[in-house]
Amino acid sequence: QQQVKQSPQSLIVQKGGISIINCAYENTAFDYFPWYQQFPGKGPALLIAIRPDVSEKKEGRFTISFNKSAKQFSLHIMDSQPGDSATYFCAGDSGGGADGLTFGKGTHLIIQP
């Protein structure tokens, strides 16, 4: 599986601020890019996802920005709250999907009150 590179590894943001997590992918066959949120001891939960035919998708406080030419996408969390403190994973998937999702290594996000 080709890589998905995620940064930063950890991030501390003040309450009310904007959290930004970035990912870059190599596999041009990817056509689906989900973000997952994981709390300690829990399984990853699908947060938001985007297809490459749009440049941005917004759901509540969460926004994905997508740059197909640069093969990069990012998650923006507006008005970050302490309850958003978790590990976030980006992923990519090709239309065939037979080899599962390719995940980044994750970002530990801490929102300080």
Partner 1 sequence: NAGVMQNPRHLVRRRGQEARLRCSPMKGHSHVYWYRQLPEEGLKFMVYLQKENIIDESGMPKERFSAEFPKEGPSILRIQQVVRGDSAAYFCASSPLGPQRSYNEQFFGPGTRLTVL
> What residues from 42 to 101 belong to the interface with partner 1 (CB under 8 A)?
42-46, 49, 51, 89, 93, 95-101
Pick from 13, 75, 84, 106 the residue near partner 1 by CB under 8 A: 106
Q: How far is the CB of 15 from partner 1 (least distance, A)?
A: 26
Measured from the CB atom, is 7 or 17 closer to partner 1? 7
Sole window of 11-19, 62-70, 76-84, 102-110 interacting with partner 1 (rule: CB under 8 A): 102-110
Closer residue to partner 1 (CB): 14 or 39: 39
Q: Which two tokens stand for residue 55?
A: 């440049």
Nearest-angstrom CA–CA distance, 46 and 62: 12
List the strands of the sheet with 72-77, edge to edge.
4-7, 19-25, 72-77, 62-67, 56-59
Q: Give the Å distances, CA to CA, from 12 to 26, 46, 90, 103.
A: 27, 22, 18, 22
40 touching partner 1, by CB under 8 A: no
Q: Which of 72, 65, 104, 86 is nearest to 11 (CA)?
A: 86
Binding site residues, partner 1, CB under 8 A: 1, 6, 31-32, 34, 36, 42-46, 49, 51, 89, 93, 95-106
